[in-house]
Chain A
Amino acid sequence: MKKIKILYLLLIFPMFLFAQSRKITGTVLDENKGPLPGASIILKNTNTGVTSDFDGNFSIDVTDTGNTLVISYMGYKSKTIALTSAINYVVQLDIEANSLEEVVIIGYGTAQRKDLTGSFTKVKENAEVAGQYSSVSSLIQGRTSGVHVTSNTGSPGAPVSVRIRGTNSLRGNNEPLYVIDGVIINSAGEDVLNATNDSNERQQTQNGLTGLNPRDIASMQILKDAAATAIYGSRGANGVVLITTKRGKQGKAQFNAYASSTVSKVSNTIDVLDPVTYAQYRNHAALLEGNNIPYKVDGNNVYLLNNGVVESGPLKQVNWQDEIFQLGYASNAGLNASGASETSNYYISGDINEMKGVVPNTFLNSSNFRINYTSHLSDKMKLDSRVSFYLGRGNMSQGASSAGGQRSFMRQLISYNPLVDGELDSDDVEVTSPYAFLSGYEEKINEKRVNASIDFTYKLTDDFKYQLRAGTNYRDKSRSRWYGTETFKGGLVNGNLSLSTLRKITYTIDNLLMYSKKFDNKSRINAVAGVTYDGSDAILTTYNVADFPVKTLKEKGPQYGNLILDPFSSENVKDQIFSYLGRVSYTHNNKYIINGSFRVDNSSKFSEDNQTGYFPSASLAWIVSREKFLRKSDIVNNFKLRASWGQVGNQGINPYQTFSNYGPLLYSDANNSTILGVAALNIANKDLTWETTTQLNVGADVALFDDRLSFNVDAYQKKTTDLLISLPTPISTGYSNVLVNQGGVENKGLDVSFDAYIVDTEDFKFSLGGNISFNKSKITDLSALPQADLYIDGAPVKASYYLGNNISSGNNFKSPANVFIEGQEIGLHWGYQTNGVYATAEDAAAGPTNQGAANKVGEVVFVDLNGDGNVNDADKTNIGNPNADFTYGFNANLQYKNFDLSLLFTGSEGNDILNGNLLVENNAAGNNNNIRPDAYLDAWTPENTNANYSAIGAQSASIVPSDRLIEDGSYLKLSNVTLGYTLDLKEGSFINSIKLYGAANNVFTITDYSGYDPELTSFLYDGTVVGVDWLGTPNTRSFVFGINVKF
């Protein structure tokens, strides 16, 4: 990368000079004392008028004849100012009603909202509500249409997934692009490498979007259609979230201090057999097996039997979930200060969070610090700098074993033997008990993050602006996992420590030339052309070591491990994108808007021939309400029709995939010394390129009754081609998957949202908002794969398809749960149809064999679809659909005098969940796993032949996915309730206002789903596993009390 040459251009545009005039300046402020750009300032009774700039500033030459300014802005009450001898005027406009008229941030520039042709949604929340969310992405949940957010707050640092208008990519990471103050932050699904090559150990996904305090956000724009996102070229396909942080407002310095405390509790537990019934179940199983019974049940007491003899007192009876889960606590405090002078403004904030999770020993402590400073160096030059720091550290609970069983904390919490011999602490309870994970497992995370950007704007002429932006984001994250000998895994190797780090710097350099020109106040051109370069440079390290003679140091002492399981490895990974971009928007007569954009991307991730991509977009809008026939309407005050077309890309893969990458392996020589080996670890694919999404969008914005009621409706069709898929390869290749561009996906949908200000008086305000999103995905093309026979809805068809990744590495669910079939929706659940359990031995003998083996009575009846007398992989069919019919959210805001109340509901309808946990929880296998009550009480026995559950010990039949695992995943959640009380204090006193509030999150969930929570986060970034619950973590319900003080 060569040095960026900063342009020095001195350009003076011809100026009209008014005779005998003086210049006055001023600032127009909105209702919040924030700058109001685009307001019109007219010298009354003249033709002279100007518009306020982005910072709300204006300057106007006033002749002696005029002495009154009229300041107006759509949606605000106009103000008339009588001019005095003063030169500077600060004018605050009051809002007329809720307005659509404002300046919004769009990709590489700003635009007036009325000039938008694409589908944008703005999210704005008050500080109290924003402050309750630990992550920017979860703040979006339920608040906008077309955006589906999945989050689970059960454990600190838990990941959040955001899907904008469905799933475009089958590869996994469908997270939108986040742009914070113009700097691209591409880390939503990013994490350190998994340090262990143990196939039973997945790495728990964590939120990659740390480092932004939700309270620092001034506004968030969600760009959904191609007209809006195409300017982001090869990275815009999943939608773009633009975030602007706060800046200081004109006037005296303002301070805002806040504090809150949160108490949280697990919102749901899984019902299992009580200890006494469990003992009866185990005895029952032992008798069937011909073994001695293990327990003696005497009333409510259970004794352990050793060869039929009671050797000690009654066993402790434990409900593990109640035993382990505790109340979680969190506290948050912060202070921000902002202000502005004539030439500069600032915003400084600091924030501290402490969170203790519902699992003992888990915590996440973090702090944020931010300085935003804008300075007008001269009339023409503006420097805008923003810096934020984040520090976070925490300890997580174990939750990412893919094997399940005794390796998994979540599994053991539910299934562990509820009868304990000895004391309830880790010294006495055997390896693999939930207690063992508390004392024997630590997962430390440590993260530091710096975001910084400098934005230099030079006004070349009145119409041309040059902008140079340099931004960087530095992320330093480390994770360590310690398995002590208390745990099964740690016990195998006398303590196991794995360490991973990520040190990544991403940078953006934008060179933009902006042009904006008004003609006769009704027509205007807004254009931008630019060259941008951005990239990242990351170092990822891993180290995995075991056999610790001294175990006290844990992650602090990797050097004390005797046995190096995976040697220290360090990878330096770089990528760059170099682009040209341009956009022109022309508004004619305030009625017709045409907009076009174009971006050329060159990405280092692809080989030279496939490096360059072109991403065009075009869009139109017609403001019908400005036409004569509607202009006078008392009802309709805004009616805009929009249409757009564009192409966007997605290249979110790891670099170097076009090469064969050799990595280290270990072997031993005859002297038992370790010797180094290497092997190619991936299948090189020289032909890789980005996937391309072509999107068509038509929409309408309607506002009625002075903006009291507004609607947005958007219909879209997105077609993605050249999908980047990590396709499971035949395991005979020696590899598990290969990255290819193959096939196509289509998403069609409808986004509807509304806002209604039902009552709007001084003392009482009541508003409702809501949104609903329908999306239908379809795999349109998998023609690169040959057609094969399979079943859809139990009927034979020929189609191309592939299957998802195996769910587990253990025995219970070592098979894929999803299928991707050409012509069908994405990720249908895949497995066997069943038909109860075999009631009699005759039925069992008459039924088809199960993978060649004869059935026993009481085993599950699997349907032999192809009728060949044997049930095997060929009989699988789609058994569920993880895609929701629609998702929705609605909110209500109520304000009475000093009280305000807001509620937020979110929901999803019509999606299935394949609950893999039922394979264990609903299977009376006869081993020491605890199970759900019905699985024992309604198990097949010679007395209960008409049973819903298989016989005790009928194990082999139930390790595969079937329709017995499918549950309705629809839900409606009351996600947030916030009640606030504002204490207005006397004008001029030191404290301006105090606001007290109480809130509850995840208040209730209405769902038929029997697992912990229908919002699944365990396979968030694995695109081949959709709607599958495997060792999911519980969610929490939390109550917050907080105070905000302004002074």
Chain B
Amino acid sequence: MKNISKILIAIIISVTAFLGCQLEETPPFLAPENVFTTEEGANTALNGAYSTFTDHFLYGADFHHITNFTSGFFTSGITADRSNIAAMNPQASKKYVNNFWKQSYKAISRANDVIGNIEVSENDGMNNILGQAYFLRAHLYFNLVRMYGEIPIRTKLVTTETIHVAKSPISDVYDLIIADAIKAKSLLATKDVQTVGRPSDLAANMILAKVYMTLAGNDNASDYWQKAYDEAIVMHGQYSLVDSYAELWDTESTANNNSESIFEIQFSEEAPSKLGRLFTPSTAFAGKGWQRIKANPETIDMHMTKYPGDPRINLTYVTKYVHYDKGTDVKTHPEVSRTNFGKGFPFLYKFFMKDREALIDATNFNYVHFRYADLLLMLAEIENELGQTATATTRVNEVLSRARNTGGTVEPADWTVLSQDDFRTAVMREYQYELIGEGQDWFNNRRRGYDYFKTNIIEVHNARNEKNFDIVYPDNDRIMLMPIPSDEINSNQLIGPSDQNPGY
């Protein structure tokens, strides 16, 4: 018995020796408690949300892929894309369709994390952070609702209980966007004190103006025009156009965060965008472009016909460049006859790689998503709808006058007063001449409904069909929306294949 008790003692000793063991995990990662307690920490989380904007899947590249390919103004240099998404035939499993959605929601989730962890307070710094988070969220949902229609709404960082969320009606999404933008407007720092490179309260006005214009649609009697006006007019005179259109594109020092910039995504060589590669052919600079996004010939032809000699044409399109290896000229439309697919399309100068010798595409060029010239044209369109066509004309002329100043040319000449209908038709084209490729085309071209899109984009493009390799756009109103990505349908138990957008 003595032995047995000793054995028991041995067991007890060895067991108790372990009882002091702590099995609690102390993760070597940051936790919300130490992120959001200080302004500096909260700002870091906000930077995390901004960082998502620079990702390849969003403004780094895929926003440009998806919006340009289906805007009606561009085609692709990649065969697979040319016969697919750039032929207005986007598939639900197409990577751009999925990636753009995915990354937008990732950015939303990061904005949600900031919003969920900061309360409105007396602290201006914290409020400004919160305001930016609301601004980013409004911006993202506004992109998504226009591109995908009914979408799931998520306003909190996801938990295991909220993984599956059904689609919401479009009106609910707009309610959220408007509410967020209004909060952003009140919380964001004013333009004079806001950190350079960050959106000020006026950037929220810009979103609201665009939201109301979109809601107004093609209905010139809509009350939304007045609401849009109230937002847009506040911004008038608060920004100024840079002297020369060239300053917007030629060098980083004048292009980045200039007086015209309203909302701009900050890129740097360390965290660059892919814009240069997307819009530059493989033979135009040492680092080789991807020549993915090329303009349809009719876009440049229209511009040249409307404003012959407009200095903006050469600052918008590349019709000729020097071959990097051979040193010879490579001509694109309209400099050379369109003999094959590789030759028939002009590149966009705006995002072209300016440094021929660069070994890689990393530059400090930012991506300006909202700029003042856009606001002036919006204001013109709104005022025209509100019957103030004369005032509206002065807004357009502000834009045209800067264009002329760029090269000291006659064109684009000032507008004289047009009828309301003629003005409407003309101003919609002005967006194309001033802003093509800058992320607004997809939305502007569809804002007034399918009939507008069909008449002014699809038919204009198809009329130009002259070669085997020219794409014929189908007459199909499903293209007003992108398909809901198959990655979402496949994994969201509350969104099934039957919830796919019509026509896909």
| A730 and B163 form a contact (CB under 8 A) | yes
B93 touches which of A12, A683, A852, A959 (Cβ 8 Å):
A959
Check if B341 is an interface residue, CB within 8 A of chain A: yes
A953 to B, closest residue via Cβ: B83
Contact between chains at B105 and A872 (CB < 8 Å): no
Q: Which interface residue of B7, B159, B164, B496 has the most chain A CB atoms within 10 A? A: B7
Q: Are A494 and B360 in contact (CB under 8 A)?
A: yes
| CB pair B270 A955 closer than 8 Å | no
Q: Write the chain B residue with the least CB distance to A548.
A: B359
- B32, A815: Cβ atoms under 8 Å? no
B-side contacts of A466, CB under 8 Å: 10
B493 at the interface (CB under 8 A from A): yes
Contact partner of B89 (CB less than 8 A), chosen from A291, A602, A853, is A853
The reply to whether B266 and A7 contact each other, CB–CB distance below 8 Å, is no
**B residues 176-211 in Cβ contact with A at 8 Å:** 195-197
Which residues of chain B come closer than 8 Å to A461, judged between CB atoms?
3
CB distance from A482 to the nearest CB of B (A): 16
Binary contact readout A770-801 vs B (1 if CB under 8 angstroms, 0 otherwise):
00000000000000011011000000000000
12 contacts between A and B (CB under 8 A): A491-B288, A492-B277, A533-B18, A576-B21, A611-B23, A659-B27, A665-B52, A666-B51, A802-B491, A815-B486, A851-B89, A873-B489
A667-B271 contact given A578-B18, A679-B52, A853-B89, CB 8 Å threshold:
yes
Q: Does chain A have a CB within 8 A of B108?
A: yes
Chain A residues with CB under 8 Å of B48's CB are 665, 667, 677-679
Q: Which residue of A11, A959, A960 contacts B7 across the interface (Cβ within 8 Å)?
A: A11
Return the chain A residue nearest B102 by Cβ: A731
- Nearest Cβ distance between residue A908 and chain B, in whole angstroms? 29
What's the minimum C-beta distance from B404 to chain A, rounded to whole angstroms?
Answer: 30
Q: Are B98 and A573 touching (Cβ within 8 A)?
A: no
Contact with A674, one of B25, B49, B270 (Cβ below 8 angstroms): B270
Tell me, yes or no, whether B218 is within 8 Å of chain A by CB: no
B28 CB contact (under 8 Å) in A572, A680, A687, A786: A572
Whether the Cβ atoms of A729 and B491 lie closer than 8 Å is yes
* Interfacial residues of chain A within 541-580, with CB under 8 A of chain B in the complex: 546-547, 563-564, 571-576, 578, 580
Instruction: Flag if B15 contacts A955 (CB, 8 Å).
Output: no
Within residues 215 to 268 of chain A, which ones have a CB less than 8 A from any CB in chain B?
Answer: none
> Chain A residues with Cβ under 8 A from B81's Cβ?
811
Q: Known: A668-B266, A811-B95, A814-B95. Contact between A547 and B359, CB under 8 A?
A: yes
In the complex formed, the residue of A with least CB distance to B106 is A734
Which of B83, B468, B497 contacts A955, CB < 8 Å? B83
Q: How does the 8 Å CB contact mask read for B148-166 relative to A, with 1 for contact and 0 for none?
A: 0001101001111011110
Q: Does B79 contact A (CB under 8 A)?
A: yes
Q: Which residues of B contact A683 (CB under 8 A)?
A: 158-160, 163
Task: Say which one of B39-47, B296-304, B386-394, B452-460 lies at the interface with A.
Answer: B39-47
With beta carbons under 8 angstroms apart, the residue of A13, A736, A873, A927 that contacts B500 is A873
Q: Given contacts A660-B32, A815-B93, list 9 more A-B pairs with CB under 8 A.
A: A564-B270, A603-B23, A666-B51, A667-B271, A672-B266, A729-B491, A734-B110, A786-B493, A873-B497
Q: For the complex, is A17 an interface residue (Cβ under 8 Å from B)?
A: no
Cβ A2 vs Cβ B158 within 8 A: no
Q: Which of A485-536 contact B (CB under 8 A)?
A: 485, 491-494, 511, 513, 529, 531, 533
Question: By the criterion CB–CB under 8 Å, are A679 and B49 in contact?
Answer: yes
Whether A533 touches B266, Cβ cut-off 8 Å, given contacts A11-B6, A513-B10, A851-B483, is no
Contact at B504–A660, with CB atoms within 8 Å? no
Residues on B with C-beta less than 8 A from A655 are 25, 27
Rank and list the top 5 A-B pairs by shortest CB-CB distance, nearest first.
Answer: A290-B468, A734-B109, A677-B47, A874-B497, A670-B197
Residue from the list B46, B79, B476, B495 in contact with A852, Cβ < 8 A = B476
For the A-B complex, the count of residue pairs with Cβ-Cβ distances under 8 Å equals 322
Nearest neighbor of A849 in chain B, beta-carbon distance: B503
B121 within 8 A of partner (CB): no
Partner pick for B490 among A574, A677, A803, CB 8 A cutoff? A803
A4-B17 contact in complex given A513-B7, A683-B159, A873-B92, C-beta closer than 8 Å: yes
* Interface residue? B414 (CB, 8 A): no
Is B160 touching A732 in the complex (CB atoms < 8 A)? no
Could you tell me if B483 and A513 are in contact, using CB atoms closer than 8 angstroms? no
User: B105 and A732: CB pair below 8 A?
Assistant: yes
Task: Check B92–A546 contact: CB distance below 8 A.
Answer: no
Taking a contact as CB atoms under 8 Å apart, the answer to whether A731 and B160 are in contact is: no
Mark out the residues of chain A between 861 and 893 whose CB falls within 8 Å of any chain B CB in the assembled complex: 870, 872-874
Interface string of A643-676 (1 = CB under 8 A from B): 0000000000001101111110111111011111
- Closest B residue by C-beta to A789: B496
Q: Check if A685 is an interface residue, CB within 8 A of chain B.
A: yes
CA distance A608 to B22 in the complex (A): 10
- CB of B17 within 8 A of CB of A529, answer no
User: In the bound complex, do residue B474 and residue A853 qualify as a contact, i.e. CB atoms below 8 Å apart?
Assistant: yes
Interface set of A (CB-CB < 8 Å, partner B): 1-5, 7, 9, 11-13, 199, 289-292, 431, 460-461, 464, 466, 485, 491-494, 511, 513, 529, 531, 533, 546-547, 563-564, 571-576, 578, 580, 602-605, 608, 611, 655-656, 658-663, 665-670, 672-680, 683-685, 687, 727-736, 738, 740, 785-786, 788-789, 802-803, 806, 809-811, 814-816, 851-854, 870, 872-874, 925-927, 953, 955-956, 959-960
Q: A732-B152, A873-B490, A874-B496 are in contact. Are A604 and B364 (CB under 8 A)?
A: no
| Given A678-B35, A683-B160, A734-B110: A2 touches B17 (CB 8 Å cut-off) | yes
Q: When the two chains form their complex, are residues B493 and A785 in contact, meaning their CB atoms are under 8 A apart? A: yes
Q: Specify which chain B residues have a CB less than 8 angstroms from the CB of A665 in the assembled complex.
A: 47-48, 51-52
B9, closest chain A residue (CB)? A9
| B360 contacts across to A, CB distance below 8 A | 492-494, 546-547, 563
Q: A662 to B35, Cβ gap below 8 A? A: yes
Q: Which of B241-297 contact A (CB under 8 A)?
A: 252, 256-257, 266-271, 277, 287-288
A472 to B231, CA, bound (A): 68
Q: A292-B339, A662-B29 are in contact. Are A673 and B268 (CB under 8 A)?
A: yes
Chain A residue nearest to B21 (CB atoms) is A578
Smallest Cβ-Cβ distance to A868: which chain B residue: B498
Given contacts A491-B288, A679-B48, A811-B94, contact A663 B29 (CB under 8 A): yes
Evaluate contact between A677 and B51: CB separation under 8 angstroms. Answer: yes
A445 to chain B, nearest CB (A): 25
B86 vs chain A, min Cβ distance (A) = 11
Q: State the CA gap A956–B105 with chains docked (Å).
A: 27
A-chain residues with CB within 8 Å of residue B164 when the two chains form the complex: 730, 786
Contact with A along B87-107 (1 / 0, CB 8 A): 001011111001001100111
Do A667 and B7 contact each other (CB < 8 Å), given the known contacts A730-B163, A734-B106? no
Instruction: Please name all residues of chain B whose beta carbon is closer than 8 Å to the beta carbon of A667 when the two chains form the complex.
Output: 47-48, 50-51, 54, 266, 271
Q: Given A460-B7, A733-B109, A814-B93, A531–B158 Cβ distance below 8 Å?
A: no
Assembled-state Cα–Cα distance A667/B47 (Å): 6
Nearest B residue to A675 via CB reads B47
Contacts of A854 in B (CB 8 A): 474
- The chain A residue with its CB closest to the CB of B107 is A734
- In the complex, whether B30 has a CB less than 8 A from a CB of chain A is yes
Quick one: which of A576, A685, A852 contacts B23, CB cutoff 8 A? A576
Report whether A291 and B93 are in contact in the complex, using a CB–CB cutoff of 8 Å: no
CA distance A656 to B24 in the complex (A): 10
**Docked complex Cα distance between A564 and B268 (Å):** 12
A673 to B256, CA, bound (A): 13
Closest to B290 in A: A492
Please name all residues of chain B whose beta carbon is closer than 8 Å to the beta carbon of A661 when the two chains form the complex.
Answer: 27, 29-30
Partner of A956, one of B15, B91, B154: B91
In the complex, A673→B489 CA distance in Å?
Answer: 39
Complex contact A731–B485 (CB within 8 A): yes
Q: For the complex, what is the distance from the CA of A91 to the CA of B455, rounded to whole Å?
A: 102
Which residues of A have CB within 8 Å of B110?
Answer: 679-680, 734
- Residues of B within 8 Å of A870, CB to CB, are 503-504
- Give the docked Cα–Cα distance between A668 and B366 (Å): 10
For A291, what are the chain B residues with a Cβ–Cβ distance below 8 Å?
340-341, 468-469
Report chain B residues within 8 Å CB of A803: 490-491
